[in-house]
Amino acid sequence: MQWGVRESFRKYIEGPIAHGSISVGGGAQRSGDGFTFDAKSSALTSASAGEISFQGEVHFTGHNGALDMTLRNPTVVVNGTQAELRVDYASRKYEGMNSTGPVREGTQELLATIALNAAPDFSAQTTTIAGPTSLTTTGAEIFGGFYEVGAPLDPVTIELSLNDASGPAHSPKRAAAPPAQRDRAPPPARPASSASCLLYTSDAADERSSV
């Protein structure tokens, strides 16, 4: 999985204001303008629904630790033309350059929604999952209040091959929820058939704000 998180955020962290750094671990690597996460497993519930899990982490820090965020083990949950990007995280609430806020942690929290251009076809040998992303209420909290709800992260583009081994299939833990139910605990999905895959996401093309 290749994903840039948010281009302007990377530039801000490593720029002359935050004087920060970006590091990777747990199987993730920095690659070009984004990051590469190792594929871990997948579980499909139908020809257009399921979840794909990855391993690895990216750590952002700046302003002498006042800005501190780690995103781990991303999972993409797909249901037709709706999708979710979920992560494990540890993040410090940003309270200014000279203040140190409390650290919050969570497991597979809803970071962003993805409005897919078309529903995927998991019954095919390959399928594409693509669309713009929007930060959720929980995602805004994960970013320490740095961005508002609805702010764009880097858009997602997935070229999925069901022939690429990426680990054993498992029963999915969640299904992409309708908009009114997002940020709530999702109900369990029905058991999946066996499948494995690789996932790739693209870097941002445009930014709506300067950070």
pLDDT, tens only, 132-186 = 899 999 999 999 888 999 999 998 777 777 764 344 444 556 667 655 555 544 4
Task: Give CA torsion, residues 200, 202, 203, 206, to 10 deg.
Answer: -160
Q: Does pLDDT of 118 surpass 50?
A: yes
Phi and psi of 142, rounded to 5°?
A: -60, -35
Q: What does the mean pLDDT of the chain come to? A: 80
Q: What are the C-alpha distances in Å from 108 to residues 22, 25, 87?
A: 21, 18, 4
**Burial class of residue 6 in the structure, from the number of CB atoms within 10 Å of its CB (0-12 exposed, 13-18 middle, 19+ buried):** buried
Dihedral in degrees, nearest 10, Cα atoms 57, 156, 77, 149? 80
Q: Let me know how many helices (H) and strands (E) the chain has, helices first.
A: 2, 13
* 113, two tokens: 């929604």
pLDDT tens across 61-77, in order? Answer: 999 999 999 999 999 99
d(CA 142, CA 177): 19
Q: Residue 123 carries which DSSP code?
A: T
Q: What is the largest CA-CA distance in the chain?
A: 53
Q: What is the phi/psi pair of residue 141, to 5°?
A: -70, -40
Higher pLDDT, 20 or 165: 20
Select from 154, 152, 162, 87 the least CA-distant residue to 128. Answer: 162
**Mean pLDDT: which of 66-70, 100-104, 186-190 is highest?**
66-70
pLDDT digits (tens, 9 = 90+) for 82-98: 999 999 999 988 887 87
Nearest to 73 by CA among 38, 112, 22, 34: 38
Phi/psi at 57 (5° precision): -145, 155
CA distances from 115 to 109, 132, 157 (A): 18, 6, 11
pLDDT attached to residue 184:
44
Three-state SS for 192? Answer: coil
pLDDT at 210 over 50: no
Identify the weakest region by mean pLDDT among 39-43, 97-101, 188-192. Answer: 188-192
Residue 17 vs residue 166, higher pLDDT: 17
Instruction: Say what the pLDDT of residue 170 is.
Output: 47
Q: Is the pLDDT of residue 7 over 60?
A: yes
Using alpha carbons, select from 135, 163, 157 the residue that is nearest to residue 148.
Answer: 135
